[in-house]
Amino acid sequence: MEAHPLRLATLADVPAITALIGLSARGLCLSDYTAAQIEAALGTAWGCDSELIRDGTYFVAEANGDLIASGGWGRRKTMFGGDARPGRQSEFLDPACDAARIRAFFVHPDWARHGLARAMLNRCESEAMANGFKAAELMATLTGQRFYSKLGYHGSEIVEYSVGNGETIRFIPMRRSFDSTSEISASPQ
Ligand SMILES: CC(C)(COP(=O)(O)OP(=O)(O)OC[C@H]1O[C@@H](n2cnc3c(N)ncnc32)[C@H](O)[C@@H]1OP(=O)(O)O)[C@@H](O)C(=O)NCCC(=O)NCCS
């Protein structure tokens, strides 16, 4: 049995997920982004997407009653961003021709490198495959890129997004085909 079994997030978890995202970004992203970039991104690009929770595709792990990791997958077009980010794309993807989204992975700094993100990714990919998807795509932080590249995701083009307060952050679109023989590059946004 998993040491920290995943459970589906509920809307009651939103405050704790939001707090976890702040701790994770401030604790684990400082070698890739400045403090000003992180604070600006936390208002928009990084945040809890309650649509994922309502869709039943967002997971959390706990230790001693506290959230230590959260992450999920998306069956809708939105590629990244919390509730506060404008430009949501809530249209459903078509598993026959679209890639599922991997969304909003955040691990508590005290629990980094304990395999929590790997466990969440395995769960997300299994569910996406069970729902007919043939590939997954995501918008990786520079921090996340090191993780996803170890787990079969490809992509190296750097894209820059405005996150407010005059700040931008760099992301890397990444993709993994569940059929490794038909790997193609991440689609442009
Ligand atoms: C990216 C993140 C989710 C990874 O979570 P994690 O639980 O620490 O990852 P895991 O322990 O499951 O790592 C699995 C493997 O990925 C690789 N990996 C993970 N983090 C890595 C890092 N910082 N540098 C290099 N390789 C890394 C390693 O191969 C690792 O296996 P190992 O520890 O046995 O060597 C976490 O660092 C995080 O929350 N970062 C801040 C928020 C963020 O940027 N999220 C990504 C959004 S796209």
Chain segment 29-69, per-residue pLDDT in tens = 999 999 999 999 998 899 999 999 999 999 999 999 999 99
* Number of domain units in the chain: 1
Ligand 1 atom closest to the Cα of residue 143 is 44
Q: Does residue 157 lie within any of the structural domains?
A: no
Cβ(24) – ligand 1 distance below 6 Å: yes
Looking at the domain assignment, is residue 27 inside a domain? yes
In a domain, 20, yes or no: yes
Residue 73: per-residue pLDDT = 98
Is residue 145 in some structural domain? no
Query: How far, in Å, CA of 53 to CA of 68, rounded?
Result: 17
Residue 13 inside a domain? The answer is yes
pLDDT of residue 2: 67
- CATH assignment at residue 106: 3.40.630.30
Q: Is the CB of 112 under 6 A from ligand 1?
A: yes
Residue 181, pLDDT score: 47
In ligand 1, the atom with minimum distance to the C-alpha of 145 is 48
Range of the domain at 87: 7-134
On whether residue 59 sits in a domain, the answer given is yes
Does residue 144 have its Cβ closer than 6 Å to ligand 1? yes
| Other beta carbons within 10 Å of 117 | 21
Ligand 1 atom closest to Cα of residue 24: 41
In a domain, residue 1? The reply is no
147 within ligand 1 shell (Cβ under 6 A): yes
Q: Looking up tokens 């069970």, which residue turns up?
A: 130
Distance 144 CA to ligand 1 centre (A): 6
pLDDT at 183: 41
Q: Is the pTM of this model over 0.85?
A: yes
Phi-psi region of 166 (alpha: psi -120 to 50; beta: other; left: phi over 0): left
Low-confidence ranges of the chain (pLDDT < 50): 181-189
C-beta of 153 in contact with ligand 1 (< 6 A): no
Q: Let me know if residue 66 belongs to a domain.
A: yes
Distance 97 CA to ligand 1 centre (A): 29
Does the beta carbon of 106 sit less than 6 angstroms from any atom of ligand 1?
yes
- What local confidence, expressed as pLDDT, does residue 1 receive? 52
* Per-residue pLDDT at 4: 87
Mutate to test the pocket of ligand 1, among 33, 60, 103, 113 (most ligand atoms within 8 A of CB): 113
What is the pLDDT, as a whole number, of residue 44?
86
The partner residues of 176 in beta bridges, in order of sequence, read 136
- Please give, one letter per residue, the 3-state secondary structure of the chain: CCCCCCEECCHHHHHHHHHHHHHHHHHHCCCCCCHHHHHHHHCCCCCCCHHHHHHCCEEEEEECCEEEEEEEEECECCCCCCCCCCCCCCCECCCCCCCEEEEEEEECHHHCCCCHHHHHHHHHHHHHHHCCCCEEEEEEEHHHHHHHHHCCCECCCCEEEEEECCEEEEEEEEEEECCHHHCCCCCCC
